[in-house]
Amino acid sequence: MKKMLLFALFTIIFLLLGCEISIKQPPKSVRQAFETMFPGATHVEWEKMPSAYKADFHHDRHEKEAQFSKDGTWLRTKTDLTIFDIPAPVMKTAQEFRDWEIDDITLYEQADGVPAFYLIEYDHEHMSREKQLRVFPDGTVMYAFQ
């Protein structure tokens, strides 16, 4: 009975913590897919999620996060960028909010057919709120909210 209570307690804690566990290495298929897709990646840290593996790492001068299925299939990548990294059409759209300062830019890429998009977060010097803009690489606004 005591063992079952401890197991239940650990299960609840595991679920509350987001179900991500740091691990040293993922399975070989995941590691090989990662190394093929991101050769030369450094500072790699792995986490096991309920249905995938997530790597946080540095690659091509950027901080990135990539997820792979248990069989090594790439699922998605998130890349932290600067304003110098985004294409001109995206920059043109981003500059439409001239009163707001760009705070953060992230590129999201997914394998499931969803087009890549940039998430641009803005801060305003005199306001305590943020704006976010999702933009396709051609500069088309996908979604804007405040």
Q: Is the whole model's pTM more than 0.85, yes or no?
A: no
Residue by residue, pLDDT tens for the chain (146 residues) are 554 444 444 444 444 445 678 778 899 999 999 999 999 999 999 999 988 999 999 999 999 999 999 999 999 999 999 999 999 999 999 888 777 888 899 999 999 888 899 999 998 776 677 889 999 999 999 877 76
Domain boundaries, the chain: 20-145
Predicted local confidence at residue 11, as pLDDT = 47
Nearest to 144 by CA among 124, 119, 108: 119
CATH class of the domain comprising 20-145: alpha beta
Side chain identity, residue 58? H
8 Å CB contact between 118 and 134: yes
The pairing of strands 101-110 and 74-81 is antiparallel
